[in-house]
Chain A
Amino acid sequence: MNTKNDSAPSPGTPSSFALPVVPAQAAAAEEHGHGHDHAHPHEHDEVGAALDHAAGAGVATEGGYGKTYWRSLEERLGKPEYMETVGPEFPEGADLPPTGFARREFMQLIGASVALAGATACTTRPSDERMVAFTKTPPELTPGNPLHYASGMTFAGHTSGLLITAREGRPVKVEGNPQHPVNQGAAGIYEQAFLLSLYDPQRARVLRQGKAPRSVRTLAEEIAGLVGKASTGDGGARIRFLTEPNNSPVMGHLRSRIQQKLPNARFYSHATLTQDPSHEAAQAVFGQALTAQYDFSQADVILSLDADFLESRPANLAYARQFAHRRDPKMGSLNRLYVAETRYSITGGMADHRLRVRSSDILGVAAAVAQAVGGQAAGLASAAASKSAAPSGSAEKWIAAVAGDLRNASGRCVVVAGERQPAAVHALAHALNVALGNVGKTVRYLPVATESTGLAGIRELIADIKGGKVDTLVITAWNPVYSLPVDSGLAELLDPKHPERTKFTVLYTSLFEDETSALVDWFVPAAHQLESWSDGRSFDGTVSIAQPLIQPLFNGVPETELLALFLDEPFRPAYQILRDFWRGQAAGVADFESHWESLVSVGIVPGSTAAAVNVAANTDGATALINGYQAPKPAATGQYEINFVPDYKIYDGRFANSSWLQELPDPITKLVWDNPLLISPRTAEELKVERGDVLEVSYGNRKIQAPVWIMPGHADGAATLPLGYGRTGLHETTAQGKGYNANLLRTMNAPWFDGGATLTKTGETYKLISTQQHWSTAGRPVALDFTVEEWRTKAGHGIKSALARTRGDLDAPGNKLNLMPPFKYDEAEYKWGMAIDLARCTGCAACVVACQAENNIPVVGKDQVSRSREMQWLRIDRYFTGAGIFEGGYENRASPDSEPQIVMQPVMCVHCEKAPCEYVCPVNATVHSDEGLNDMVYNRCVGTRYCSNNCPYKVRRFNYLHYTQGKQPTEKMAMNPDVTVRNRGVMEKCTYCVQRIERTRINARIERRKITFEQSAGEGKQGELHTACQQACPTQAITFGSLHDPEARVTKLHNDERHYKLLQELGTQPRTVHLVRLRNPNPALAAPKASEGEH
């Protein structure tokens, strides 16, 4: 039995900070032409020699990145800017007037990091000028108290504004920056997992050329030589850069300076999912590339054309909040969401009406809607209709209803197209918004914040390399060898066997030794964003300053420092590069120091949020765009459309090494550690396959095998293949061997969907692991979900019975059904309670990961999850409801024509007033607190598991094995010191984040006042006490506070008409109430039956 985690922390992974482990492929790349032998993966003597070399080089580079070399020259020159660069006698900033807390915080932080580095005594880093030890503890730093720093997280051309909690110099928790207009305090799953990637012990540690370790100085000399030659020669015409789409002002500045030096060098960008089609369409419709920003708070009717706007980055956090406000009857009338999509998405789960169509039919749907809406949109519609016919049958009625609803809500509606859709669909969406008068109301157009060259750029780059026009390729984009479509040609070009391979040099920087690093000549381990200074724009232009919270743990080089090497200038650390840039930007600011400190401490550059651009639509350009669109061939009989989607857990694979995300149940499928091939029940019937059957997917001339997962609500005749799995990165052992690589079927021409795939049953099966075995509510009043009309009348038997069973008055003082005397809370200062609004919850699972990060919840691995032992305290139950979903027995069945709806229900310990767990524990390990918490005393628990058996909500989690065993030193650093790390044999569960309660209580007591609580959603008073799940939630679906405070939002929600108590009929009297979800169907469409308790 495998009792080891799949998360692969440990024994197999390198644990010494200084041990260079070099991939064999890289060695092969270095030795190519010498008849290298792949059969010898590791030449041990060579590694030994490499170690010696590293040790020798370490001494030579003492003093920092190439500073020994420069020091004498600059000092002799004695110019002030150089002096600053070299590193003054005093710690940095010590010669500046003490003007505020940002600098000090920075100092503490650095100091603490140094202290920590010293404590672990496992770094061979040369000390550099930034390290100072405490001679006197700064007044802000009290050991045991957390400090918060604004920072940011950049990926795929968008920067999320974050607030990082640091404990004794190490970041332990990521939250959204409350002042950031997109995040507004919320953080999604990727932001949460950002922390884990910092501490990942499998991160690359060694800068190497081929297999030989190199110092940064050697690299700098190499690059200086190259740049020197190129700048005087051909102006860098043979140099190419492949980066992530650039959204960083300082990087933009660096690039323009590189371009000054090397005017003929070219920059290309790559990210799996970009906004390029939308920008291209805006270019056609409005004459300039613009980013559409939607205001869902003003939209009464929303049409999503395959747009998963509630979850797909970059704007999801802001959109989800706006959308959720309009699902809350307290905040005005409900909006109505129409979604046309292929696979069931999170946005689809929130839809009032959902049309399941193949991705290639979305254009037809858009055209039909445009035709019906008229105006400028109609002009495009006929062109579009020739490319994709509108679906017939029930879809016609749907489209007519949508168009009618949109017309009635002119100026108060939104049409959104998804990133996977071609520019033609986006052009129709833009035109529809123009025609409906939404521009300037619910849709604003902003200048594009991200420079992206898209796949066209990649084609150009590959052609150049093939044409022998390139000597040097610098890759800072994430893992293009893996993430580019299979026919991009990059992987073949980089392959050491390729004849052209010897003619150019590739430099790659990344956090991990991955698929790309295996093929490059130079590999530079990147500094994590929490280890270095950077900045970046969010999609609306807001610039975040991302400050580091810790010294680089693994000798990583910040990207700015790496790119700055191409300037062939004296070394400046990333901090200096960033600061100098913003000093240049702050020309008009009198006191730059205080300006800089406020930038860093707030984390946001004021005034950087873009203003809307006035646009005028011109449909002619758009018609040309649509006419130029190559629609996928209509699928022949026996052929299916294949769709590629970024995975809900690990995106395009860049988070594949994050065990938190790998073990996060996919919001829709609830699968962990794998990617399935999703098909509809009807398609499964056609193919005669069941869950777990392995299909061979052949498309073009390529074939892969993938296990099937049948999804009710998936479009018929299509299959969806999530990206990001099938990773083979050398040291990414968490990611290795999980799922299949869907990129092996993607092509440059059809990166997102295409017809013409055939699916063949192989006869093999594969065990896909889902955390939720059962689809339906089995007719139980569990996740309550009614239409507005049903709710208004409360007439149906179902709704009456469900409310009677889940509300009742069991907790009324005079109730005779309860024989046990009630607990008294009159004396208690607080009476804790929570409310979860199902109308707001999209099921995005940010809360699940936030809880995991806050409460040191272990990852148990696929094998343990397959035994149903996952440890997440907070789970999101996903139920399919509606006609065609079989509710009776065991089978998860849906009729092939079912149009299911989804209800998401977060469930964690509900802290019962009359808790069934408490009275059965033989050792008093779970007890009722005087403020109503159901406390869990880990060190008293002997592990009889009776409490878990008797918990009707099944929210208790048991450490069946020693899941926290064998953590690497860096992994231990991610642990929240306020929360016990549990041993084997101990029960655990949600505590309402009792550590946060106590910390806030201490602060309030010191100030002789009561804790203030969140008072309302949206603006309003936000309160000072949040549970981790509540804090992360972008839709404010979770509220926590004291029921003694009549003004607290949680109290109001406990008294809200929509509240109900899960399994109240058992007499448990949960302290967490759920709020009924309401749907707002269009009366013109026969309302799909909403779920209800049938009894």
Chain B
Amino acid sequence: MAEPAAAGAAALDPLEPRHLVAPHHDDKSLNDTLLDFVWQKPGKGWLMLFGVTLTALGGLVLGVGYTLAKGIGVWGNNQPVGWAFDIINFVWWVGIGHAGTLISAILLLFQQKWRTSINRFAEAMTLFAVMCAGLFPLLHTGRPWFAFWLIPYPSTLAVWPQFRSPLVWDVFAISTYLTVSALFWYIGLIPDLAALRDSSKTKLQRILYGIFSLGWRGSGRHWHHYKIGYLILAGISTPLVLSVHTIVSFDFAVSVLPGWHTTVFPPYFVAGAVFSGFAMVVTLMVPARKYMGLRDVITERHLENMNKVILATGLIVSYGYMMEHFVAWYSQSQYEIWTFYVNRAQGPYAGVYWLMIACNVVTPNIFWFKKARTSIPIMWVAAILVNVGMWCERFIIIVTSLHQDFLPSSWDIYTPTWVDWTIYVGTLGLFGTLFMLFLKFVPAVAISEVKELQQELKHAAHHGSSHHGVEQAAAGTLTHGAH
């Protein structure tokens, strides 16, 4: 894809080879470009895609309804394999969510400017992914109508949850994660909602956007509070990037099962989460930027940066695999060796295992090459493969550890049913539907932040200052606002 910005790249600072924002925009054109998609009539493409995701969402309703009516026996879970698609999908979705938090919070704190064009997008993804993830722990209980017993509340039964169980920690982790992500996303959205209100063409739009923009007028005082609030939320979110998936990994690591009982799990799960999250961002962003005309604000540089993160986290994940296998061998535990070297690598699910290795260990390594990092088709395929690979990883961790554990007499095979698939595809539908709505009703790129960045870049260019200077300028905007 020939980027207009790429031509001028050579003339720029060697450390900043590509534009973060295409240079031909001013504030107005940015506003118009970025709000355009919201004000447009829904196009054919959008409607078709929305139809597809809505259909899948219907499948979810069907699958969940059937499950609630009959019991989770309609899934494929069985005696040795007590958890399967339910927890696989849970972990997978939670992991996907991590990119958003990482981009929004950690990169904000580290003042990585390139995050501005993609953070809204990634945050929305986090929010929707966590919503999908949150469905599963609830659904997978045998008696979901009593699932609230996992919440500590003073009840007349005088029984509290069992705080030694990681499942209780999960409740805290996921609910906190959802709350913080939602707040973070919403607060970041307020100035843009106000922009939408201001450019509304109908009364209804004006009223609705007016309500959601909470009376934002863009005053200095507003900006002041807004920036502080945003920063605080970023601070709160930052530990969540690490803690949520660490706790999810505890679901496995505190058990006695070979394949689960592994100390490397927390860091390796976090890396895996970021890995899959970035892959998902790339997967979604590549088509979105094309069809929504966002190429000027989501430039190749963004994509390349994300590919670098995918490469880095992919290497951490590979290291995690290596350590698992090493420790299994080093322990000389018969059960561990069976799980890692015999069952996973040669067993009935060996195909999934090798697919996982191919997707998660081999694929990211193509990003060592700049050509691959900057080629849209290659990165898109690679990102999809990483998503597949990470799903396989959860499958391998959960199913192969359970289906053959200690006593060979209990060994059995797990096969998913149509309900399992329907619910899985259904959550993709839920995610997609929410995402389509998100794209349609709010700007997918944080306009105010892009404009701010634009100003900073211009400012920096005027003064001919270095990248360092940009950061100073950015820091300055925190106090006196962009406009």
Contact = CB atoms under 8 A, between A and B. Distances in A.
B203 interface: no
A907 interface: yes
A946 B80 contact: no
B334 interface: yes
A1095 B334 contact: yes
Contacts of A944: 140-142, 167
Contacts of B335: 780
B338 interface: yes
B160 interface: yes
B326 interface: no
Contact of B143 (A779, A953, A961, A985): A985
A155 to B, nearest CB: 32
A137 B406 CA distance: 54
B149 A948 contact: no
Interface in B78-112: 78-83
Nearest to B86: A945
A18 to B, nearest CB: 33
A725 B149 CA distance: 47
Given A941-B143, A942-B149, A958-B79, A922 B71 contact: no
Contacts of A875: 409
Interface in A627-642: none
Nearest to A860: B73
A924 B142 contact: no
Contact of A946 (B144, B159, B167, B419): B167
A782 B78 CA distance: 23
B71 A960 contact: yes
B163 to A, nearest CB: 9
A989 B83 CA distance: 18
A948 B412 CA distance: 14
Given A919-B162, A943-B142, A984-B71, A773 B412 contact: yes
Contacts of B22: none
A1062 B81 CA distance: 21
Contacts of B147: 942
Interface string A897-910: 00000000101000
B256 interface: yes
B150 A945 contact: no
Interface in B406-443: 406-413, 417-419
B198 to A, nearest CB: 49
A922 B408 contact: no
A940 interface: yes
B164 interface: yes
A940 B143 contact: no
Contacts of B342: 888-889
A942 B139 CA distance: 11
Contacts of B74: 1, 3, 961
A986 interface: yes
B232 to A, nearest CB: 31
Interface stretch (A57-65, A866-874, A1027-1035): A866-874
B78 A923 contact: no
A191 to B, nearest CB: 26
Given A773-B413, A944-B141, A985-B72, A916 B256 contact: yes
Contact of A986 (B143, B161, B166, B251): B143
Contact of A954 (B168, B251, B410): B410
A1066 B73 CA distance: 31
Contact of A922 (B77, B143, B150, B254): B150
Given A907-B407, A954-B407, A960 B143 contact: no
B405 A952 contact: yes
Chain A facing B: main interface SS: loop
B369 interface: no
A878 B410 CA distance: 11
Task: Sort chain B's interface into a size bin.
Answer: 35 or more
A944 B167 CA distance: 9
Contact of B142 (A780, A922, A942): A942
A524 to B, nearest CB: 41
Interface in A885-942: 888-890, 905, 907, 916, 919-924, 940-942
Interface residues of A, number: 61
Contacts of A877: 407, 409
A1068 B406 CA distance: 13
B82 A958 contact: yes
A960 B409 CA distance: 21
A751 B460 CA distance: 101
A940 B141 CA distance: 12
A104 interface: no
B72 A942 contact: no
A779 B334 contact: yes
A962 B402 CA distance: 24
Given A942-B149, A954-B80, A924 B71 contact: no
B466 interface: no
A856 interface: no
Given A869-B78, A953-B406, A920 B167 contact: yes
Candidate in A877, A919, A923, A1063 with the most chain B CB atoms within 10 angstroms = A923
A952 B407 CA distance: 7
Given A950-B257, A985-B142, A986-B143, A945 B405 contact: no
A772 interface: yes
B405 A890 contact: no
Nearest to B418: A1
Contacts of A943: 72, 141-143
B257 to A, nearest CB: 7
Contacts of B78: 867-869, 960
A199 B272 CA distance: 57
B82 A945 contact: yes
A160 interface: no
Given A943-B143, A945-B82, A960 B165 contact: no
Interface in B232-272: 251, 254-257
A1066 B409 CA distance: 18
> Chain B CB within 10 Å — which of A3, A868, A959 has the most?
A868
A777 interface: yes
Given A869-B78, A949-B82, A959-B142, A942 B150 contact: yes
Contacts of A942: 141-144, 146-147, 149-150
A949 B161 CA distance: 19
Contact of A890 (B166, B254, B347, B418): B347
A986 B79 contact: no
A888 B347 CA distance: 11
Nearest to B159: A924
A351 B140 CA distance: 47
A774 B411 contact: yes
Given A780-B334, A950-B255, A961-B71, A983 B143 contact: yes
Contacts of A283: none
Given A916-B256, A920-B255, A952-B405, A946 B165 contact: yes
B407 A960 contact: no
A957 B255 contact: no
B76 A960 contact: no
Contacts of A615: none
Given A778-B338, A922-B161, A946-B165, A984 B142 contact: yes
A665 B173 CA distance: 43
Contacts of B72: 943, 960, 985
A1066 B82 contact: no
B73 A3 contact: yes
B348 interface: yes
A945 B141 CA distance: 8
11 contacts: A779-B334, A868-B78, A889-B346, A922-B150, A922-B165, A923-B149, A924-B160, A949-B82, A984-B73, A985-B141, A986-B143
Given A1-B74, A923-B162, A950-B256, 4 more contacts: A777-B408, A778-B408, A907-B407, A952-B405
Interface of A: 1, 3, 772-774, 776-780, 782, 864, 867-870, 875, 877-879, 888-890, 905, 907, 916, 919-924, 940-946, 948-950, 952-954, 957-962, 983-987, 1062-1063, 1066, 1068, 1095
